[in-house]
A and B are shown apart, each in its own frame.
Chain A
Amino acid sequence: MKKLIGIILIISGISNAQSFEFSGYYENQLYPQIIKEKVVLQGHNKLRIDLSTDFMEDFVFNGDFIFLANYGAKSYKIQDFLPNNMNKELDGFISTLPEEIKQMAEKSLEIGMENRNYLDNAYITYYSDDFNFRIGKQQLAFGTGYTWNPTDIFNQKNVLDPTYEKEGISALKFEYKFSMMGKVTAIMALEENWKSSSKMINVKEHFGEFDINLNAAEYQINEIDFYNLSEVSNKEWQIGFSTSGQIFGTGIWIEGANYLREDDYNEYQALIGLDYTFENGLYLMSEFLINSRGSDDKDYSINDWLEYFERPNAVLGKSYLMVGERYQITDLINWENYVIYNLSDNSGVIYPSVTASLSNNTELSLMPYVPFGNDRSEFGEFKAGGIFRLKLYF
């Protein structure tokens, strides 16, 4: 509590000296879901405080701090979301381990819901006519896809809530504008040394009715090899491409990336998306994803699942189809409905959502989901649940 008061005093002290702009939101989220035939409740109270200031000519500071207090379930086990056959295999493997390693292995399969107070974003940007430079913990997002982003090496998306904000990444970002709509961006996301830091270069230009992006990146992938109880680090390179525009009045976006490693790993992910708005305002969208590193059938390994939970862009199947619709029921109520279907194992999830503006600054979102599919499939083992979110902006 003292710490909080201290932070507020420091902020208000600074704000007297500088013209800081404050904003933010309070969010209460409840996330009930059925796990092993029981309804498990988990939720959070989240307070985000944003501040920004032009502290010098052409220099801008932006930042936000998040206070996150969870309630309900304190942790999950990865086994809660795995198919039964895999749990049996996993339990069998764990039971063969020596006691001290067994505890370590069990701990590594836990997803803790810890309370956190953290600096979500804090960065300084220098703006000039031809280039910008940004240093600090900042948002880094790439790609034109809605549900998946093969070119995004920095973030992991929740397919059921893909537009939800992501935590910032500590990085240096340099942008050079070479035309009215074109720019080159160079990014270095800072890790403990040069080798493990992610490096990325992106070139963007607008041609006709299309925005076109080319990416090249080098980064480190840390993968858990559960059966050998080890973490394997590999250098990976990505060449990526994304575009968005329109053909015959229909929106179209394409995004793809090829991933290469020294150990002969050569995989790719690519997607194509289409959207259209009808005269009555009904908006339809569809995305099709192919993923060369996915499994053709539902024979996923524990390592596949661990990668699925940990790695950005990781999906289990070889191909997916997403179909969605959006319709504004009234000026204040928005309806959306999406279906994601894993074509490799014939499982999927339906997730409708309703967002209502309760007042100028209050929004309520109800996002239930219903998975379907057989045992051992990606979505088949999940049971119904939902996200209920109340957000008050200030």
Chain B
Amino acid sequence: MLRFFIIMIFVSSLGFSQDINVIEIIKKVDENEKYNSTKSEASQIITTSGGSKRTLSMKVYTKDRNDKQLTVYTGPARVKGDKILMLEDGDEIWFYTPKTDRVRHLASHAKRQSVQGSDFSYEDMASGNLEDDYTHKLIGEEEFNDSECYKIESVPTESGPSYSKVIIWVEKERYLTYRIDYHENDILLKRLICSDYEKLEDKWYPKKLFMKNLQDGGETIIKTNKIEINIDLSDKLFTTNYLKRR
């Protein structure tokens, strides 16, 4: 009985120290990848399972460590002027299209919908808050893309996204997200690979995001072509009033 009690204390203390480590890792990832503000130009290349390609271009503005995010589509003509405003780490989303000159507020369920036919959903585009939106568990260490990574299982909380769990590969040396697997009821739905990290000031920015839909075989790449960081962006840019401004 005494031996059992000692084992229990040992196991629970192991679990406790492991939780602290995970939170530290997640905090470091957050710290490493989020800027006060950014202004970038990116291409979104969608490839269907049949091989057809569509390329969209956009400007993305973020502020307050991604708490506020505005995406403005600049091409092709079919989507030009469409805007997506995300506030409170993506909890609140509005979509504007100049075709009807109307702003639509998206309910949280609509965040599962695909953005402009890509393999990213609205909730994938929202950066979210890793600390508040998930409970994390370190499940091991694994090599990915020739780098040693922590492998973390993250289960969304009430405020988190709709997936049942995600597995995150965090590169050990610089604490950068290398890969995320999105699961729904034990089915692996999608895989995101973040690469081409560039050091801008004291943080790192992934210039290539590759999302593979493992259900239908489609894939989408978001490639950042130009980026400015820590610039002065007005709060007014991140309002529904601004969405109608051309």
- List the interface of chain A (C-beta within 8 A of B): 23-25, 52, 60, 62, 125, 127, 129, 132, 139, 141, 163, 165, 175, 177, 180-181, 183, 206, 209, 211, 244-246, 249-252, 275-279, 281, 283, 328, 330-332, 334, 357, 359-361, 363, 393-394
Contact = CB atoms under 8 A, between A and B. Distances in A.
B6 interface: no
B80 A23 contact: yes
Contacts of A139: 100-101
B54 A277 contact: no
A332 B108 contact: no
5 tightest A-B contacts by CB?
A251-B107, A393-B77, A246-B107, A139-B101, A277-B109
Contact of B107 (A23, A175, A245): A245
A361 B78 contact: yes
A394 B218 CA distance: 26
A296 to B, nearest CB: 33
Interface in B99-144: 99-102, 104-114, 117-119
B216 interface: yes
Contacts of B54: 331-332, 357, 359-360
Nearest to A168: B101
Residue among B48, B77, B100, B107 with the highest chain A CB neighbour number at 10 A: B107
Contacts of B76: 360-361, 393
Nearest to A129: B236
Interface stretch (B10-18, B30-38, B238-246): B238-246
B218 A331 contact: yes
Nearest to B122: A277
A118 to B, nearest CB: 18
18 contacts: A127-B245, A129-B236, A139-B100, A139-B101, A163-B100, A165-B100, A180-B241, A181-B240, A181-B241, A245-B105, A279-B162, A281-B112, A281-B114, A331-B216, A360-B78, A361-B77, A361-B78, A393-B77
Contact of A141 (B55, B102, B218): B102
A363 B79 CA distance: 12
Contacts of B78: 357, 360-361, 363, 393
Contacts of B245: 60, 125, 127, 132
Given A244-B105, A330-B48, A363-B78, A60 B110 contact: no
B235 interface: yes
A332 B107 contact: no
Given A163-B100, A180-B241, A330-B216, 12 more contacts: A52-B246, A141-B101, A206-B240, A244-B104, A251-B106, A331-B48, A331-B216, A331-B218, A357-B78, A359-B54, A361-B77, A394-B77
Nearest to B184: A279
A259 B95 CA distance: 30
A327 to B, nearest CB: 10
Contacts of B235: 180
Contact of A332 (B48, B112, B241): B48
A251 B110 contact: yes
A242 to B, nearest CB: 11
Given A181-B240, A245-B105, A357-B117, A60 B246 contact: yes
B225 interface: no
Contacts of B117: 328, 331-332, 334, 357
Contacts of B92: 209
A281 B109 CA distance: 10
B241 A177 contact: yes
Contacts of B100: 139, 141, 163, 165
